[in-house]
Amino acid sequence: MRKSTFVWATIISMSLLFSCNSSTVNRESANRHNSSNEILQKEDGTISLNLEKADCYSDMVNPSGNTAEWSVVVSKAGRYNVWLSSATKDTTDLKYKNNVLVSVQDKRIEGHPNCDKIFLDSKDVSYPYYRCDSFIGSMYIQDTGVFNVQVISEKILPKDYSDAEMATSASISRLLSVSFTPEKRN
């Protein structure tokens, strides 16, 4: 009797051990798959978020809630300058109707993009567009880890959008990317 109880206890223990181990392996492989979608912070501390790598929601009927979201691995805490890069045909006015909202965890920054830096021969855009960078403000990121970065702007256009569809301010400019550059102490 003791021998059969010991055999059954051993069989149950082994089956639990193997079933738990296989689910751990499945979770680990799923985590590895998800980590491939994460944006890694560069060695110099810069975080570059290209709209092509974002999960986007775009509504051309009511574009004020258009949203882009990235999963970002922040390895260095600190204060960051937030820059938006836009493709534009008009280098004096980007034609943003609303402020752009950038949020990381519970931190939010909101600003109206202006033409702060203009790049005439940028590889990011082709003629008749120019690349324009806009300083939005600075943000302190206190913790390290994996965070969702979210941007809300009417200039987040669908990937299949073409200028021929509409002759509006959307055809004059569009959001390309968001960058977080570490502030340097002098």
Q: What is the rounded (10 degree) CA torsion for 164, 165, 167, 173?
A: -80
Q: Which pLDDT does position 5 carry in this prediction?
A: 61
- pLDDT by residue (tens digit) across 99-142? 999 999 899 999 999 999 999 888 888 888 899 999 999 999 99
Q: What is the pLDDT of residues 36-63, one digit of tens each?
A: 689 999 999 999 999 999 999 988 888 8
Q: What is the DSSP letter of 144?
A: -
Give the model's confidence band at 93: pLDDT under 50 very low, under 70 low, under 90 confident, else very high: confident
Q: What is the CB-side half-sphere exposure of residue 142 using CA atoms within 13 A?
A: 3
Q: Which residue has the higher pLDDT, 35 or 50?
A: 50
Residue 127 dihedral angles phi and psi, to the nearest 5°: -55, 135
pLDDT score of 165 more than 60: no
Which SS3 state, helix, strand or coil, does residue 4 take?
A: helix
Could you give phi then psi for residue 52, rounded to 5 degrees? -65, -20
At position 14, the amino acid (one-letter code) is: M
The answer on pLDDT for 170 being more than 60 is: no
Instruction: Calculate ∠ Cα 83-85-90, nearest 5°.
Output: 125
In this structure, are strands 55-57 and 67-74 parallel, antiparallel, or unpaired? antiparallel
pLDDT of residue 19: 42
* Contact between 37 and 71 (Cβ < 8 Å): yes
How many degrees, rounded to 5, is the angle at CA 135 between CA 163 and CA 172? 15
